[in-house]
Structure 1
Amino acid sequence: MSNLTQSVDRKSTDENYLAAHPPERSDPSNLNAFASPVLWLSGGFLVLFVLLAVFDTSALSNVIQVGFSKVTLWFGPFWQVLLLANFVIGLYLAFARTGDVILGNRATPEMDTFKWLAIILCTLLAGGGVFWAAAEPIAHFVSSPPFYGEAEGRHLAINALSQSFLHWGFLAWAILGTLAAIVLMHLHYDKGLPLQPRTLLYPIFGDRALNGWIGTLTDTFCIIAVAAGTIGPIGFLGLQISYALNALFGVQDTLMTQSLVVVFAIAMYTLSALSGLSRGIQIISRYNIILAAALIIFILLFGPTSFIVDGYMQGMARMVNNFVPMSLYRGDADWLSWWTVFFWGWFLGYGPMMAIFIARISRGRSIRQLILSISLVAPLITCFWFSVVGGSGLAFELTNPGVMADAFEGFNLPGVLLAITSQLPMPTLIAILFLILTTTFIVTTGDSMTYTISVVVSGSTEPSGAMRAFWGVLMGLVAIALIAMGAGGISALQSFIVITAVPVSFVLLPTLWHAPKMAKLMAEQQFGKLAHNTAQVKSSR
């Protein structure tokens, strides 16, 4: 449709949908959501994936690996441009006049800024925020990133941090809830359209996106992508915690131990999801941030403080100085497919569903608050966390060559984390606290994605407890089933996540031009109304 304003102002759709589904009201007993074709398509696909893995894990892995190679080769450049454009356009909206626009048809935020930012940080970091923070800088130290070429010693360590900052920094965070969240918040809270991925395509396809097969497939693809992206970390949590318990206490690293860890996580995030956004996830996120802050302070006091601070400042400076060339680097396609493009595919898969979650918790925030918090503040905090954890590992490796590299051999993520804690005072206690932190990160992600998937399937911002429990348990059971097949099952899922990002990336693409148009429209409406009210006040005096 050529005119966006006309497409989002169709009275026949907006008024009828708003009357039936007002944003402020929901039906938590909406059990007919279990008849939704989106539920059966997405849930059925996950079950089918497990059955295929059971039948022939090797064949499934081979097929997925071929698909993974083609996807990273064909779509990698597109994703790199997409993430960079998303970040730049978001910053423009934040610093332009549109930055003052208040989102969500609400004058004040629903929760205080600390709780809001804590939930966002804990949800988006997931368990990767601990194990990858420890291991990725070491990985780039052991094998130098091709963008920087060969280097040695401290220079190589700074390069390793810089590359890690790119993967977990501005671009990754921005795609998870800025432009897409603006589009969803306008169309849902102002126009009354459903809080579902299909709504992102409404300005293009109109009613067909809401009621036809286009919307059904869009929601299905987005649910499969985010479910796979959540199941993978849940499964790895079982593998990694079991490994750590064996290394620390001699607990047998068996399927039983791994499954018990996953069952514990299932119980935690399902109960948290059932308690609602105002209780479980807020409480867990708050204490998660407090624990992370305590670990940061401890490591700064008793760890390689000088290198941590210098590494953060120099690594950030090097990354920012090379930001665009690093973001668009295509010099080594094979390396990119296992690092940058892999991460971009993973984060893209989360994009629409995370935008829905952020839209749900961000009412009353301005566009400037939303974008600067997610695109700048959260990445800066994340990169400092990587400097504290991974930077400590690099400092220990520089002082005692091999102490971290040997632990990382075989791409052993939990091995690196335990090697880092072993160099600190009270190593066992600190290791236990890191494992608790990893678990609670996964719990917050499982909680938020269980809730968000249920919202999409049910079409209600307060989905039934049965629907939340169904998705929470299903994702956990799929993780256990894949663990039972050995490393091949989880690895196949990890590669499959990148494949699912292909359709999802095209769902996010239109937000590059729809978000600015909608932001401009909202600015005209809000500031025009304000100017009108001001003029009335002056004339009445």
Structure 2
Amino acid sequence: MDVWVLTVSGGLLTAFVIAALTAPTATGDAVAAAFTWSAGAFGAYWQVLLTATAAVAAVLAFSRYGRVRMGGTDAPEFGAFRWVAMVLTTLLAAGGVFWAAAEPIAHYTEAPPQYAGTVDGPMAAVATALAQSFTHWGLAAWAIGGSLATLVMMRGAEKGMPLRPRTLLHPVMGERVRTHWLGSAVDIACVAAVVAGTVGPLGFLGLQVSYMAGALFGTADSYAAQAGIILGLTAVALVSLLSGLSRGIQLLSRINVWVALALVLAIVALGSAAYVADAYLQASAVYAREFATMALFRGDTEWLAYWTVFFFGWFLGYAPMMAIFIARISRGRTVRQIFVGATVLPALITTVWFSALGGTGLYLEQQEPGAVSGPYAEDGLPAAAMAVIQALPYTVALGVVMIVVSLLFFASTLDTMSYTIAAASMRGGEPLPWVRAFWCVGMGLAGAALLGVGDGGVDALQSFIVVAAVPVGLIMLPTLWTAPRLVREMAAEQGITGNR
């Protein structure tokens, strides 16, 4: 165990929670100021970094170097379905349930600034709204952790390095990074980022599920209900986490995928399957054509801070821990397989998910203007999801399934992130059970505590995600050239190329 990393990163989380509880206004103001500065100073850099990562990874995967096998020659530990299911839980989480319903309606009612006044017709507006959502949650978001960083992490593990964030700098610093103070600083920065990226949405989930339960069953939308949801979710994640990768984590991930698939099919079947299919195809065409324009747009910095830069900063903060987890479960797979299975397929599934939930919401909005946009404008994300459910038959059944999907998604994310944070707290080997439990329970308690000061505590931590992404963005930059170099070395070692 690395006591230094464990105590400093755990202390930072504790200090933030105490500050939010004792001085919520001052903490919120400080975080808001740091958020504004971070988004303004680093937003353009993050947009270029995520876009470039996706481009370099694609070229690498579909070149002759795509045949390089990572992590040894043994057969993969997990089958393709189990593997992709576990990958999906690292990023999509429960936020995807609510954002999938809300973000498309937000871009539909108010077109992204680069397309304001130029979108011709309602279906063009639908395609643009969905394509903008695909840009935020699609290829670039998955590539930042599931491609180049994963390759660097796996090559480092082959050379005896631990699965810790500092290994991302191994190609630059060599063995020194194992004991250098900079390695500890990297681990602490990455742990802080992913803890903020997990605890914030955990508190957010308590608020959303409590709202939905109140709308469906008339239960009290109280702090007790919200905290109870978070603590119950933490208990489920803890059981899964302590069961290990090959049992609890992969089982929960598979259940998650099947239940989510059932929800998507039910919503599309009860809404308009033809409309959703048409919207998905048109949006995919816009996404393919306008990807660079949407991902690199810099014309409205205020809008960017709450959309593209916010999401890119959020996913960037997750990236090192995503890379650790994906590296751990991907041994024996080729560069091409890792790119397709950990970037392309998850991005494709995410776009289908957004089209099913968001597309159905857009269909209902066109049938009855204000049906979804009205509740969203009044009560935010959960209201948009709830409006979609309430407009369809079998509202209660669908609502229950949506709540279950939300809880399963986040339980899966909580256990995988707890595992990787625990791994970052260890000098080597599998993370100890009590260290896994410490982070899982600690993040659950932090999420419940932040709800005690209302939405402000959770909102502050979610904004802090973007602040925490600042050092992570610098840590991830070298993967743009170190990953291709390492893969070329491995290609020579494996006889794929003749250069040694």
Rounded to whole Å, the distance in 2 between the matches of 1:529 and 1:329 is 39
User: Could you tell me how far 1:467 is from its partner in structure 2?
Assistant: 0.8
Residue 198 of structure 1 pairs with residue 183 of structure 2: no
C-alpha deviations, 1:265-322, integer Å up to 9, x for none? 1101111110000011111111111111112222332211121001111001011111
Q: Which residue of 1 aligns with 2:348?
A: 380
Q: Which residue of 2 aligns with 1:169?
A: 138
Tell me, yes or no, if the aligned pair for 2:268 and 2:360 is still in contact at 8 Å. Answer: no
Question: In the TM superposition, what are the counterparts of 1:489-508 in structure 2 within 5 Å?
Answer: 489-508=457-476
C-alpha deviations, 1:420-470, integer Å up to 9, x for none? 111222111011101100100000000001111111101334211111111
Segments of 5+ residues of structure 2 without an aligned counterpart are none
Letter in 1 for 2:65: T
Residue 228 of structure 1 pairs with residue 228 of structure 2: no
Question: In the TM superposition, what are the counterparts of 1:90-169 in structure 2 within 5 Å?
Answer: 90-150=57-117, 151=119, 153-169=122-138
Residue 475 of structure 1 pairs with residue 443 of structure 2: yes
Tell me, yes or no, if the aligned pair for 1:154 and 1:398 is still in contact at 8 Å. Answer: no
Tell me, yes or no, if the aligned pair for 1:71 and 1:499 is still in contact at 8 Å. Answer: yes
Q: Which residue of 2 aligns with 1:425?
A: 393
Moved more, 291-300 or 333-342: 291-300
Tell me, yes or no, if the aligned pair for 2:85 and 2:253 is still in contact at 8 Å. Answer: yes
User: Could you tell me how far 1:232 is from its partner in structure 2?
Assistant: 1.1
Rounded to whole Å, the distance in 2 between the matches of 1:103 and 1:516 is 13
Q: Secondary structure at the match of 1:206?
A: helix
User: Could you tell me how far 1:56 is from its partner in structure 2?
Assistant: 1.0
TM (norm. structure 2) is 0.97
Q: Which residue of 1 aligns with 2:13?
A: 46
Rounded to whole Å, the distance in 1 between the matches of 2:89 and 2:488 is 31
Relative to structure 1, the CA distance from residue 411 to residue 218 in structure 2 (aligned partners, 3 Å threshold; closer, same or farther) is farther
Tell me, yes or no, if the aligned pair for 2:65 and 2:496 is still in contact at 8 Å. Answer: no
Moved more, 310-319 or 206-215: 206-215
Rounded to whole Å, the distance in 1 between the matches of 2:498 and 2:265 is 46
C-alpha deviations, 1:174-201, integer Å up to 9, x for none? 012210000010111x211111111111
Question: In the TM superposition, what are the counterparts of 1:3-402 in structure 2 within 5 Å?
Answer: 33=1, 36-150=3-117, 151=119, 153-188=122-157, 190-402=158-370
User: Could you tell me how far 1:249 is from its partner in structure 2?
Assistant: 0.8
Q: Secondary structure at the match of 2:146?
A: coil
Question: Would you say how many aligned residue pairs link Structure 1 and Structure 2?
Answer: 498
Tell me, yes or no, if the aligned pair for 1:208 and 1:214 is still in contact at 8 Å. Answer: no
Rounded to whole Å, the distance in 1 between the matches of 2:374 and 2:429 is 48
Rounded to whole Å, the distance in 2 between the matches of 1:156 and 1:325 is 16
Tell me, yes or no, if the aligned pair for 2:9 and 2:191 is still in contact at 8 Å. Answer: yes
Q: CA RMSD in A?
A: 1.5
C-alpha deviations, 1:498-517, integer Å up to 9, x for none? 00101001111000000000
Q: Secondary structure at the match of 1:40?
A: helix
Q: Which residue of 2 aligns with 1:18?
A: none
Residue 488 of structure 1 pairs with residue 428 of structure 2: no
C-alpha deviations, 1:29-68, integer Å up to 9, x for none? xxxx2x6100111000000001111221111111111111
Tell me, yes or no, if the aligned pair for 1:166 and 1:319 is still in contact at 8 Å. Answer: yes
Rounded to whole Å, the distance in 2 between the matches of 1:106 and 1:125 is 30
Rounded to whole Å, the distance in 2 between the matches of 1:306 and 1:147 is 29
Rounded to whole Å, the distance in 2 between the matches of 1:531 and 1:205 is 24
Letter in 2 for 1:172: A
Identity %: 45
Relative to structure 1, the CA distance from residue 374 to residue 529 in structure 2 (aligned partners, 3 Å threshold; closer, same or farther) is closer
User: Could you tell me how far 1:530 is from its partner in structure 2?
Assistant: 11
Letter in 2 for 1:61: G
Moved more, 214-223 or 405-414: 405-414
User: Could you tell me how far 1:95 is from its partner in structure 2?
Assistant: 0.8
Letter in 2 for 1:443: A
C-alpha deviations, 1:79-123, integer Å up to 9, x for none? 111011100100011111110011111331111000000111123
Rounded to whole Å, the distance in 2 between the matches of 1:496 and 1:141 is 28
Q: Which residue of 1 aligns with 2:415?
A: 447
Rounded to whole Å, the distance in 1 between the matches of 2:497 and 2:384 is 57
Rounded to whole Å, the distance in 1 between the matches of 2:313 and 2:378 is 23
Relative to structure 1, the CA distance from residue 464 to residue 390 in structure 2 (aligned partners, 3 Å threshold; closer, same or farther) is same
Match of 1:404 among 369, 372, 382: 372
Moved more, 231-240 or 145-154: 145-154
Rounded to whole Å, the distance in 2 between the matches of 1:510 and 1:346 is 19
Segments of 5+ residues of structure 1 without an aligned counterpart are 1-32, 533-541
Rounded to whole Å, the distance in 1 between the matches of 2:101 and 2:429 is 37
Letter in 1 for 2:462: Q
Tell me, yes or no, if the aligned pair for 1:123 and 1:441 is still in contact at 8 Å. Answer: no
Rounded to whole Å, the distance in 2 between the matches of 1:374 and 1:333 is 31
Tell me, yes or no, if the aligned pair for 1:238 and 1:258 is still in contact at 8 Å. Answer: yes
User: Could you tell me how far 1:256 is from its partner in structure 2?
Assistant: 0.4
User: Could you tell me how far 1:208 is from its partner in structure 2?
Assistant: 3.4
Relative to structure 1, the CA distance from residue 528 to residue 156 in structure 2 (aligned partners, 3 Å threshold; closer, same or farther) is closer
Tell me, yes or no, if the aligned pair for 2:21 and 2:452 is still in contact at 8 Å. Answer: no
Rounded to whole Å, the distance in 2 between the matches of 1:136 and 1:325 is 18
Tell me, yes or no, if the aligned pair for 1:91 and 1:372 is still in contact at 8 Å. Answer: no
Q: Secondary structure at the match of 1:527?
A: coil
Q: Which residue of 2 aligns with 1:30?
A: none
